[in-house]
Amino acid sequence: MLTEILISNNISELRQKISQIMSELDELGEPVKEIPEIISSSNLLRSNEFLLKSDEKKTALLSIYAQYCKSLEQLLSSVFEIQHDLKNILTEQSSMIESKPKSKPKSK
């Protein structure tokens, strides 16, 4: 049970990180447009700087999504284990009910 709680907390933290990085990526805005008044090498430098920042954020986002997926898979695995255990308990209890001898009514 403790593992499921840790996984759940981990998923929540990863969701927050994903939101934060997506927000930071949105803050970068659109790719830099060329300014005709500036020489082309300056435009290329500005564009390259934007692409580096954008690429860094996207790489971090992919990494966190991978961790998020792994945590979800662990959580899903736990859910399936619980489902299997509950099914076994239900089967066991059903067989106990069926095998129980019915008591005869007492005469007064």
> Taking the model in full, what pTM does it have?
0.62
Say if residues 78 and 4 touch (Cβ distance below 8 Å).
yes
Range from 20-24, 30-34, 65-69, 77-81 carrying the lowest mean pLDDT: 30-34
In terms of Cα–Cα distance, which of 62, 58, 52, 51 is closest to 25?
A: 58
Q: Domain limits of the chain?
A: 2-29+36-80
Q: How confident is the model at residue 59 (pLDDT cuts 50, 70, 90)?
A: very high
**pLDDT tens-place string over residues 7-27:** 678 888 999 999 999 999 898
